[in-house]
Amino acid sequence: MEYVLVDEEDDCPQLVPIPGKQNISTEQIPVTLITGYLGAGKTTLLNYILTEQHNKRIAVILNEFGEGSALEKSLSVSQAGELYEEWLELRNGCLCCSVKDNGLKAIENLMAKKGKFDYILLETTGLADPGAVASMFWVDAELGSEIYLDGIITVIDAKYGLKHLMEEKPEGLVNEAARQIALADLAIINKTDLVNEEELNQLQETVRSINGLVKIVETQKSRVDLCQVLDLHSFDSKSGARLQEKLQLVKTTRPHLDKNILTVTFEVCGSVFEEDLNIFIQVKNTLFIAKLSVNCCLCRNYQLVIFLQNLLWEKTFKNKDGLVMNVIRLKGIVSLWGKTHQVIVQGVHELYDLEETPQVWSESEPRANRLVIIGRNLDQEVLQQQFIATVLNKKNRD
Ligand SMILES: Nc1nc2c(ncn2[C@@H]2O[C@H](COP(=O)(O)OP(=O)(O)OP(=O)(O)O)[C@@H](O)[C@H]2O)c(=O)[nH]1
Ligand SMILES: [Zn+2]
């Protein structure tokens, strides 16, 4: 069942079913976001994918939208080696702020005109915040869009990557290069021909210290095995089985350069207690309801919801220096009371989502909740304690 949000009186929105939307075909097209600092090798990667790929109709969208104020921007789309241009009207001249209204619609219009693509690659500018673009695609997919977010790739310049990561930003601002790494599912360290082994190791370590979950590959001329790039299913439950193993390998990191961004992980045994209460969750974020409505049976798990809300929206968690924790990406597997299947938790900035995976908890193994959180000012101990205090039922802890 699909829902739309009807925001009647200020803060009490209601969900209303959209008639006739139930039977929408689920054949959605994956979109992969390609981020990376200026000159890292994004376009080289796109060209490589287009020439390597033979059995997919891939559309490449180059988001060359600068900071300028022009209302119309062109959208270059290349498909099967053919290049054409579309004109987009952007209200505020920046794709990340308007992708939902315009960018996505433009892509859908394009498909209506030119026939469906099998895959979409979207290159964002070196400075755009990929998190904003990513969350829009993510939410839209839940709302019945034809497109879903498959993964986020960042291309890093082996020679200048460290320098970009070390750039000091004014108080409160995140280093863009670090943020791109924090969000990524795959980091491609490109131009390895320009560095020696020691430099390469140092960069790898730094990338790993920011994002303990990201897969790192090294390339020259962005030549990477396509199965490492496409169809990653990083945001859906299809990654469930692999994810559990992967999460177990992740370690809490010590920040190397950007003092702030790091990865924190913890495991708490037991199941999250599912209160069978008809509590109306106080919601401030409309996108959140939109997402929860899709998984309505899970949202009753309000203790977990409260933990996530405190972490992502209320930002009530502080580290030991009193600095507010700020999450860029979150991933985990939780065990809900009464559910035989593992549940995936995903978060990008302030959005999060719970989804049951096809993976069943094994009878012989104790159930556990494992979270990996990437962001600023995180403290592993504090987060684990908060998780236990907020989420785990008392009965469970004793
Ligand atoms: N030495 C070396 N140069 C490379 C490699 N890969 C790409 N380049 C060069 O680096 C330059 C920038 O590559 P692009 O692919 O245009 O980088 P980009 O990230 O798309 O750059 P912007 O779109 O400006 O942000 C080009 O001149 C490439 O030929 C590599 O592995 N080694
Ligand atoms: Zn923007």
Could you say which ligand is closest to the alpha carbon of residue 44? 1
Could you say which ligand is closest to the alpha carbon of residue 64? 1
Ligand 1-lining residues (CB < 6 angstroms):
36, 38-44, 126, 155, 190-191, 193-194, 220-222
Mutate to test the pocket of ligand 1, among 43, 65, 200 (most ligand atoms within 8 A of CB): 43
**Residue 313 CA to ligand 2 centre (angstroms):** 20
**Predicted confidence band at 46 (pLDDT cuts at 50, 70, 90)?**
confident
C-beta atoms surrounding 180 within 10 Å? 33
Task: Return the residue matching tokens 């959605």.
Answer: 28
**Residue 103 CA to ligand 2 centre (angstroms):** 12
Look over the chain and give the mean of its residue pLDDT values, rounded to a whole number. Answer: 72
Give the mean pLDDT of 220-243. 85
In this prediction, residue 247 carries a pLDDT of 81
pLDDT above 50: residue 100: no
> Going by C-beta distance under 8 Å and a sequence separation of 6 or more, which residues neighbour residue 165?
175, 177, 178, 181, 206, 210, 257, 258
CB 261 within 8 A of CB 179: yes
Give 124-146 pLDDT, tens digit per residue. Answer: 765 666 777 777 677 655 556 67
In this prediction, residue 282 carries a pLDDT of 26
Query: Which residue has the least CA distance to atom 15 on ligand 1?
Result: 41
Give 139-165 pLDDT, tens digit per residue. Answer: 655 556 678 889 999 999 999 999 988
CA dist., res. 341 & res. 354, Å (int) = 12
pLDDT above 60: residue 370: yes
DSSP states of 114-167 as a string?
Answer: H---SEEEEEPPTTS-HHHHHHHHHHHHHTT-SEEEEEEEEEEETTTHHHHHH-
**Residue 370 CA to ligand 1 centre (angstroms):** 38
Could you give the ipTM of this predicted complex?
Answer: 0.96
**Residue 127 CA to ligand 1 centre (angstroms):** 16
In this prediction, residue 202 carries a pLDDT of 95
The residue that leads in pLDDT, 384 or 315, is 384
Give 59-75 pLDDT, tens digit per residue. Answer: 777 655 443 333 444 55
**Consecutive H or E run containing 302:** helix 302-309
Query: Which residue has the least CA distance to atom 25 on ligand 1?
Result: 38
The tokens of 100 are what?
Answer: 């939902």
**Residue 70 CA to ligand 2 centre (angstroms):** 14
Query: Which residue has the least CA distance to atom 3 on ligand 1?
Result: 191
Q: Which residues of 339-374 are buried (b: 16+ CB within 10 A; e: fewer)?
A: bebbbbbbbbbbbbbbbbbebebeeeeebbbbbbbb
CA dist., res. 180 & res. 164, Å (int) = 11
- Our separate counts of H helices and E strands in the chain read 13, 15
CA dist., res. 35 & res. 122, Å (int) = 9
Give 18-29 pLDDT, tens digit per residue. Answer: 444 343 445 788
